[in-house]
Structure 1
């Protein structure tokens, strides 16, 4: 007879370190990608694209873009999720503003930036998911659309990314757009393999 393990709960200290780790990794991933002139998928990709086009820092651009999505997160997942997500976004923005003053790259091949950026971002997002937080954005809208219509959340996210990368191919050099697509694929693979919804629910 198998014994059922009790559900694992995180303490506030556990949540704090997990959210700090996830936010820092997300900021570092954006720094890697931005330094190589690349983007990624979802809202972070749009923020990187706008950052490169306008010269504004990634963090503040992401913060502004994410504001309209918090209502979806609250409605879907509640006040606790929203508080942790806002904390994660603010930490990510602060870290992304600090990183250019702390480091730079003499050599950064776009292939290395794409693969490492995808891996680092995947690790950061997994940490946030496992501490019931996120970086906000398209995912919350996709879930809301799925609840209201027959359109699956995955299709909404894929549609957004398809439109984003179609635009990226118009404004970025083709090789940078292709490396960016590789990085986004690595990120999605990390999440698909490691994010177990039967264990960690966001």
Structure 2
């Protein structure tokens, strides 16, 4: 049925549960593959994914597990500031990412990858994964939760808000990375936010 206020325009159809589940699986898979590429190249990236990667070089725990642990404090904020459904989906996403990282580490072995490819391909994969999750009412936690909250409450561009957080993360990580690593890591951040800036903004997407 056409929208009465906009004749000829069909209102968006809400996503089904099956579509939500599929999107969560796809999003988590893309994020895990992106993390694998960046980890292999010894890089970091945006948000809590970057924090988890940075910690993995010193703590020697799986990136997926560190990713979930870093995000735990943000779930309470998600439940209070967003919704319990969003918080639950985000929690499930982190569990899926942790489990997927465990499986991926035993299913795929990449001996070497050029940092330029890892930065662009890995960052793009993570960006598309975050976008898939966001469009179906979930997030990866951390700074992404804050960015999505500001996007919904004030209409602020999620890519630009997240970029501001990531400048701080890269500044801190730069103390432990060489110049080349910091440059390529910055490129991965740009790749992620290039995706979010292009497709995750008011008026760009009409689905729920």
Q: TM-score, normalised by structure 1?
A: 0.88
Is the contact between residue 159 and residue 194 of structure 2 (CA under 8 Å) also seen in structure 1?
Answer: no
2:131 aligned residue: 126
1:58 is aligned to 2:63: yes
1:178 is aligned to 2:179: no
Q: Which residue among 108, 126, 135 is the counterpart of 1:103? A: 108
1:44 is aligned to 2:32: no
Rounded Cα–Cα distance in structure 2 between residues aligned with 1:144 and 1:124: 18
1:20 aligned residue: 25
Rounded Cα–Cα distance in structure 1 between residues aligned with 2:131 and 2:150: 23
Bigger mean CA deviation after superposition, 159-168 or 73-82: 159-168
Q: What are the residue-to-residue correspondences of 1:73-88 with 2, within 5 Å?
A: 73-88=78-93
Superposed displacement of residue 107, structure 1: 3.2
Rounded Cα–Cα distance in structure 1 between residues aligned with 2:207 and 2:171: 31
Rounded Cα–Cα distance in structure 1 between residues aligned with 2:180 and 2:33: 22
Is the contact between residue 130 and residue 200 of structure 1 (CA under 8 Å) also seen in structure 2?
Answer: no
Query: Which structure 1 segments of 5+ residues have no match?
Result: none
Q: Which residue among 121, 143, 150 is the counterpart of 1:116? A: 121
Residues 116 and 44 of structure 1: CA distance in aligned 2, closer, same or farther (over 3 Å): same
Rounded Cα–Cα distance in structure 1 between residues aligned with 2:207 and 2:37: 29
CA RMSD of aligned residues (A): 2.6
Is the contact between residue 32 and residue 113 of structure 1 (CA under 8 Å) also seen in structure 2?
Answer: yes
Is the contact between residue 15 and residue 207 of structure 2 (CA under 8 Å) also seen in structure 1?
Answer: no
Rounded Cα–Cα distance in structure 1 between residues aligned with 2:19 and 2:40: 31
2:142 aligned residue: 137
2:34 aligned residue: 29
Superposed displacement of residue 196, structure 1: 3.7
Residues matched between the structures, number: 200
Superposed displacement of residue 43, structure 1: 1.0
Is the contact between residue 82 and residue 149 of structure 2 (CA under 8 Å) also seen in structure 1?
Answer: no
